[in-house]
Structure 1
């Protein structure tokens, strides 16, 4: 069965009515026949049929045993960190999402959980950085925002040999492109706000575990902490997943064309996209994923914050906003937006330059998106009148 068919038909038909759309059980509680005797649900924080449908769906799509849905991506990350205790260490990818960095350093470090950061593009760096206190290895692949790629299978072997859990943030790829649990990871997290939801109309997070016992620990934390996803938002994520394979296919196709265009532009310094043969991790990306995703980042020859800000306020189709993975194209300036919570020196050391711009390439016509970037780039003082399409490289769209 193809991945597209599997995703579509993994969404259940309602067994009570035959409804082809999962019903929204908008209720806070459930009637019991006697104390402790119910139809599988007693209180909506502990479980809701709509949320259960989503949790079972994402567990299936990620080849896991247990799924849990949370009120945001950060709530999902928070639940995973609560598996640890004071004195434990996290080994995290250096080019990390700013919200995760803030949670790790400003919330959990004061409780005695230490976080060390490492360039995970080389598995030996991870191996060398592990200590006896390391209990969790945390990677994003691709990373946010410089799209570094980590070898999941190699790092999973290191984690297993060291007695650590490996958690992979699979937000940028989604299970349509990459399945970390099948490559040896123990836990997968998603900001379902992004590609899984796909329409910029919800906030949600998901955790999936490879083993049932670990999943039950996450479920306990979910119920005890209460950061659950609502029935309506659960339904929105399910609806988004129905079109995920088709959307991801177009995101990838558009992003490839945009990346190729940017790589040829005179004003652009570096382009970060795993689909480019010039990307340092291109080969491992090809091996462990079915596509390269819809995110493209690039830095400018004029490596200043001022140049990047001028660019991001000059586009017309690419809208300046936080988030990614929706139908409409977005762009942001990570140094001032998504990664502002990371100290400037640390941010730059991880490759997030002051001029770095992150694109979430949407589903518009690629030719229109490239024309929008062309006019914005040509507004920069050092490239006025320069047309990269005509002077450097022709791209078939």
Structure 2
């Protein structure tokens, strides 16, 4: 269906009706599948014949989700996983080995930093973290054993942008791959493969579902790479459940309209925050004040739905803003239709060292808002209540 436009693909791609000719995609809740005979069973297990075998690695609902997301990202194939973190883990475990080296942007989600720093190092895979916007630092970090560049753009929580095309060029010159975490933008706003990335990684838990219902992850890219990831998933089992895949599949149908509405609201809220006396800085790629605003115009359809800002003072003042919110949900998740607010230094990035937080620019006065679909005026009033107490 790749001849169709994005909005049609979001609603139609991956649809494969059963003998019942259902309109909405079917949910296949089964752990295994029956074969016509012993020969077919052998062929399916060996891979000589395509078809469903066992829901850990083959399921029609999961296949539908994978097909639809691959179409939206402009990818040849997609592998769905149990969560965003399992998507990253599966990618690294499938494509790397002991002695290999990763170059990663410093502004990563806290758990992603933990994975590269504390988990993969146990398996002999070293990581060098570099400033997300410093192209010279990426180039200087390259070693003979560098096999992967991993970036998140926009970054969590400071919305720093990585120049995907420029980093892809550096990675490929080094004989390495570039994987881009596209969680904040989704393919509705940014398609990293079009800028030279080799793989796109998602926490489907976030905007792809869009309503905070289920966990999921995904990796999209060429079959030559996704097949390696599939082999790891088949054996190790970080698989998405068919139910979760079905929820995300249906969430993709409204992805564009949600992302456009939430991005518009985020821009309005960010503009308002810049005018507040007790706000010292606002981080939002859709604002001309963002240091990479021009890159955002080239690389993204809009600024996306995450707005971060610093309040005067430190943790105590930031917590006053959080604790006086009556509309926004105090939770670290994002990508929901309900607006959420969190204090990154004590939640999403609380497990990394104070030194690492300082290097990443995550201060005690920083707050992150994932803008939902409520009235922007109500969100402004929610923040004004706490800001008035600082």
TM-score by length of 1: 0.93
1:350 is the counterpart of 2:360: yes
1:131 matched residue in structure 2? 143
1:390 matched residue in structure 2? none
- Residue 125 (structure 1) shift: 2.2
The 3 A distance-change label for structure 1 pair 36 and 231 is: farther
Find the partner of 1:34 among 25, 37, 58. 37
2:44 matched residue in structure 1? none
Which structure shows the higher helix fraction? 2
Give the conservation status (yes or no) of the 8 Å contact 1:197–1:236.
yes
1:393 matched residue in structure 2? none
1:237 matched residue in structure 2? 248
Give runs of aligned pairs for residues 1-397 of structure 1, distance below 5 A: 2-37=5-40, 40-82=51-93, 83-209=95-221, 211-302=222-313, 304-380=314-390
Give the conservation status (yes or no) of the 8 Å contact 2:309–2:366.
yes
- Residue 311 (structure 1) shift: 1.3
Give the conservation status (yes or no) of the 8 Å contact 2:14–2:63.
no
Alpha-carbon distance in structure 2 between the residues aligned to 1:46 and 1:359: 36
Matched residue count: 378
- Residue 120 (structure 1) shift: 2.3
Alpha-carbon distance in structure 2 between the residues aligned to 1:285 and 1:15: 43
- Residue 13 (structure 1) shift: 5.0
Alpha-carbon distance in structure 1 between the residues aligned to 2:115 and 2:348: 13
Give the conservation status (yes or no) of the 8 Å contact 1:13–1:20.
no
Alpha-carbon distance in structure 2 between the residues aligned to 1:52 and 1:93: 31
Give the conservation status (yes or no) of the 8 Å contact 2:339–2:374.
yes
The 3 A distance-change label for structure 1 pair 199 and 146 is: same
- Residue 254 (structure 1) shift: 0.5
Alpha-carbon distance in structure 2 between the residues aligned to 1:260 and 1:16: 53
Secondary structure (helix, strand or coil) at the match of 2:160 reads coil
Secondary structure (helix, strand or coil) at the match of 1:264 reads coil
Alpha-carbon distance in structure 2 between the residues aligned to 1:67 and 1:35: 30
- Residue 255 (structure 1) shift: 0.2
Secondary structure (helix, strand or coil) at the match of 1:188 reads strand
> Greater CA deviation, 34-43 or 158-167?
34-43
Alpha-carbon distance in structure 1 between the residues aligned to 2:23 and 2:280: 50
Alpha-carbon distance in structure 1 between the residues aligned to 2:373 and 2:178: 33
Alpha-carbon distance in structure 2 between the residues aligned to 1:186 and 1:19: 36
Give the conservation status (yes or no) of the 8 Å contact 1:92–1:139.
yes
Alpha-carbon distance in structure 1 between the residues aligned to 2:303 and 2:235: 37
Secondary structure (helix, strand or coil) at the match of 2:219 reads strand
Offset from partner CA, 1:55-76 (integer Å, 9 cap, x none)? 1111111111121111111110
Alpha-carbon distance in structure 1 between the residues aligned to 2:165 and 2:24: 36
TM-score by length of 2: 0.95
Gaps of 5+ in 1: 381-397
2:46 matched residue in structure 1? none
Alpha-carbon distance in structure 1 between the residues aligned to 2:57 and 2:40: 15
Cα RMSD over matched residues? 1.2
